[in-house]
Amino acid sequence: MEERSNSFSHVKAIELAHKNITGTISSSIFHLPSIEIINLSVNWLSGEILNDMASSPSLRYLNLSNNNFVGPIPNCSVSLESLDLSNNMISGEISAEIGLCWSLKTLKIPTSKSNISSLQFLTLASNDLSGQIPSEIGRLKSLNWIYIDRNHFSGKIPEEIGNLVSLNHLDLAWNNLSGQIPSSLGNLSDLHYLYLSIVPTIIELQNLKLLQLMLNSFTGKIPNAEASLPRLQVLQLWSNQLSGEIPNYLGTQSDLTILDLSMNNLSGKIPDELCHSGHLVTLGLFSNSLQGQIPRSLNTCKSLEAIHLRKNRSGNDEGIVELDMFSNLPNLRFLDLSYNGVSVSSSINSSYTWPNLQYLSLASCSLNEFPRFLKGSKHLMSLDLSDNKIHGQNPKWILNKGLDTLSYLNLSHNFLTHIERLPLVGELSSFICNRTSLEILDLSYNNLNGTIPPCLGNFSKRLSVLDLRMNRFQGTIPDTFDKKCGLNNINFNGNELEGSIPPSLVHCRNMQVLDLGNNKIKDTFPRWLETLPEMQVLVLRSNKLHSFLPSPMVNHSFPELRILDLANNDLAGPLPKGYVENMKGMWNLDEQGTSSYMGTRNFSYHYSVSLTIKGFEIKLEKILTIFASIDLSNTMFVGEISSFVGQHNSLRGPNLSHNSFSGQIPESIGNLTQLEWLDLSSNKLNGQIPHKLADLTFLAFLNLSDNRLTGPTPQGRQFNTFENASYHGNIGLCGFPLSRGCNSDG
């Protein structure tokens, strides 16, 4: 051991960042006698941060950021100059001994009772730290940057922060801070960037260039800060609850380049004055309630690169938006006018093009043809013309221009019958298969037919979404998915596909959604799908699947599955106990939060799925990551319902109707606290209805009809709202709302 230790005695640096290393690390590497630099950032390392990890007498630089370390913040030696533990799960408070680290210039952990007079950068972002921001922070006079965002700090911002006269960046966002901004912040004459998460008061910061107050719950109107922030370049107030009109003075801020007021409750008109400064680059106003005309003065904003007006009610009095109002913007890269309830006219001068256009979204704009100006868009990355009235086939030029860069194509919900040069009808061309930049291809809800080209299974490892649902495709699904498959979402629902489910789909290891429902697929249950580690949604309903459902192949089958729909098939036999036990993706989802939807981040593309919910077919336009449901209705399953179903405590609704399940309703179903619907109708269930079901406060739909249940119906809470139809065909039941009382002889 001593000889091995000596062999590393001269090692001065260990650089293993971005290596996908897992597991824990040995503390011995921190005690090498000559070690000066250790960088293990951006890996999958875990375990507890030990108190002596940063105490080596020769260590100058230690970076353990972007891992999964837990525990308290360690002490450090006097030689350490940079310590980065950000983006872990570090908790607790820092000890006073951190003040001995006199050489520190960059400390990316929290500090409270310290005397680090030379500290310039303080970062504790993205951890689990709590408590108040200590007032002692005001002693660190050399601080230039403070990043303590994305933690659980509470209380007020200490007045002493105003003593940090060298401060340039201050980020306190995504915490639980309360109260007002201390007036002492007005002393920070060098402050250029300010990110907050508390109700602001306008203070005079003559040099402030960036003000970000997004992702909060601010209410009221946008305050007048014309004289207080004369050098403001960036104002981002998106995702709040601000109301009222957009102040005219924002157009007179001479340095303003980015204005983003999206996702609020703003009303009134878009001010004509917004372009008076002449420097505006980004205008974000989407998801508000703005009305009236889109001001033609935007055409004078020569510097404009991005216009986000999605989901308002903007438009002129005739409900028509002429695209020529933007024709004088040579730098335009991003234009989104979708879902405003107006008609967009693309009769722009055919000789004009936007040469730099990269993103165009004109969804639900009553278009009846492809915009001709796209002919000159050679750098197009994203095109969304969905939910329009485009008929027939596309012009040949639509896919000749920009295809080398096109990553997102959404032509869904139109009346297309032919996609020229893809092709999706007729003989396969290699044209689309050479477009390796494509990431999202959505041609759903059209009138396309023919067979699915085999190349769509393997032409691009970048393709993540392939949505061809609700067309008239025939033939089989090509068995061409190779080991480079990068697909996250395949949706072929609502076509006329036959044959079997291709085994090569097992190569799509990133698959989250597979929807092959409502076709004519004739196959046994594809048990090999259970090995896909990311699978969350599996819909195979209304096909010709047959035979018994086999036992799982592996111990942890479908570990992330949250939505399972096998309804309307010929599957038979007992439901394998292993599947019910292993689907742990339906456990404790409510602890993961409610604001996340399934989809891709690159283009804010949300996955959707159609399910039978409370007796009705409903299309979920967005799928919450905490949503869980099971539909095995109209099959031929037999045997008892496993009590393990009660472990799936995030289930919103199981539908096991129209089978031959027997035995009693498991008492454990009463543990499903998120349950909103329960359909066990048309089975052979007997015994009493568990009275524990009465504790399910979210249960809004119940169907236990046509079984062999006996005894009194549960009373109280939601059960007082259910009608006779919920129990029809169970002659042994009694009690409200049934006409037969439990004490009656009849």
What pLDDT, in 10s, does the model give residues 380-397?
A: 888 898 888 887 665 665
* CA 672/CA 586 separation, integer angstroms: 11
The CATH number of whichever domain residue 676 belongs to comes to 3.80.10.10
3-state secondary structure of 337: coil
In a domain? residue 157:
no
* Mean pLDDT in residue range 627-652: 90
* Range picked from 96-110, 217-231, 406-420, 599-613 for highest mean pLDDT: 599-613
Mean pLDDT for the stretch of residues 565-585: 86
- Report the predicted TM-score, pTM, of the whole model to 2 decimal places: 0.67
Confidence band of 426 (pLDDT split at 50, 70, 90): very low
Q: Which residues contact 572 (CB under 8 A, 6 or more apart)?
A: 546, 547, 548, 549, 635, 636, 637, 638
Full DSSP string of 225-290: -TTT-TT--EEE--SSEEEEPPPGGGGG-TT--EEE--SSEE-SPPPGGGGTTS---EEE--SS--
In a domain, 124, yes or no: no
Handedness of CA 592, 22, 2, 62 (dihedral sign): negative
Residue 147's pLDDT is 77
Closest CA to 705 of 724, 688, 690, 719: 724
The listed range with the strongest mean pLDDT (156-160, 364-368, 601-605) is 364-368
Cα–Cα distance for residue pair 538/373, rounded to 1 Å = 40
Whether 731 is covered by a domain: the verdict is: yes
Q: Where is mean pLDDT largest: 223-237, 242-256, 668-682?
A: 668-682
| Mean pLDDT along residues 712-737 | 92
**324 pLDDT higher than 70:** yes
Calpha distance 377→354 (Å, rounded): 6
- Quick check: 361 and 386 in contact, CB under 8 A? no
Residue 338 lies in a domain: no
Name residue 410's beta-bridge partners. Answer: 384, 442
Give a three-class secondary structure readout of 177-208.
ECCCCCHHHHHCCCCCEEECCCCCCCCCCCCC
In this predicted structure, what is the pLDDT of residue 714?
93
Phi–psi pair at 661, nearest 5 degrees: -65, 140
| Long-range contacts of the stretch 7-10 (C-beta < 8 A, 24+) | 8/32, 9/33, 9/34, 10/34
Q: Concatenated DSSP letters for 118-164?
A: T--EEE--SS--EEEPPGGGGG-TT--EEE--SSEEEEPPPGGGGG-
Residue 514's pLDDT band (cuts 50, 70, 90): very high
**pLDDT greater than 60 at residue 220:** yes
Q: What is the DSSP string of 364-418?
A: TS---S--GGGGG-TT--EEE--SS--EEE--GGGGTSSTTT--EEE--SSEEEE
User: Could you tell me the CA-to-CA distances from 737 to 124, 283, 318, 396, 713 in Å, in that order?
Assistant: 59, 58, 55, 64, 8
The reply to whether 739 falls in a domain is: yes
In this prediction, residue 171 carries a pLDDT of 81
At 202, the amino acid letter reads I
The token duo for 474 is 């025939």
pLDDT at 253 over 80: no
Q: What is the mean predicted confidence (pLDDT) over 397-406?
A: 59
pLDDT value, residue 688: 96
pLDDT of residue 198: 54
- Among the residue ranges 194-198, 419-423, 425-429, the one predicted with the least confidence is 425-429
In this prediction, residue 689 carries a pLDDT of 96
pLDDT at 408: 83
Does residue 315 lie in a domain region? no
268 pLDDT exceeds 60? Answer: yes
* pLDDT for residue 533 is more than 70: yes
Encoded tokens for 509: 């290891």
The average pLDDT across 494-506 equals 95
Residue 182: pLDDT over 90: no
How many domains in the chain? Answer: 1
Share of the chain above pLDDT 90, in %: 25
261-265, 371-375, 466-470, 481-485: lowest mean pLDDT where?
Answer: 371-375
**Which one has a higher pLDDT value, 325 or 668?**
668
- Count other Cβ atoms within 10 Å, centred on residue 347: 12
**Tokens 């095109």 — which residue?**
383
Higher pLDDT, 146 or 685: 685
- Is the distance from CB of 135 to CB of 156 less than 8 angstroms? no
DSSP letters along 487-552, please? Answer: -SEEE--SS--BS---GGGGG-TT--EEE--SS----B--GGGGG-TT--EEE--SS--EEE-PPP
**Alpha-carbon span 349 to 352, nearest angstrom:** 6
20-32 pLDDT, tens digit per residue, is 788 888 778 877 8
Task: Tokens 């592996």: give the residue.
Answer: 554
Strands 382-384 and 465-467, how do they pair?
unpaired
Of 675, 668, 588, the closest CA to residue 626 belongs to 588
For residue 700, the enclosing domain spans 639-745
DSSP run (H or E) holding 701: strand 701-703
21 vs 427 pLDDT, higher one = 21
Pick from 552, 587, 481, 472: which is nearest to 518 by CA?
472
Q: What percent of the chain has pLDDT over 70?
A: 81
pLDDT band of residue 508 (cuts 50, 70, 90) is: very high
The pLDDT of residue 469 is above 70: yes
If you average pLDDT over every residue of the chain, what do you get? 80
DSSP label at residue 624: B
Q: For residue 256, give both structure tokens.
A: 């303003």
Asked if the model's pLDDT at residue 107 lies above 90, the reply is: no
pLDDT band at 177 (very low <50, low <70, confident <90, very high): confident
Paired tokens of 450: 């023919």
Per the domain annotation, does 515 fall within a domain? no
Are 64 and 49 contacting, i.e. CB atoms less than 8 angstroms apart?
yes
Question: Which two tokens mark 645?
Answer: 């179903």
| pLDDT single digits (tens) 119-129 | 677 766 666 66
Does the residue 546 lie in any domain?
no
Q: In what helix (H) or strand (E) does residue 219 lie, and over which residues does it extend?
A: strand 219-220
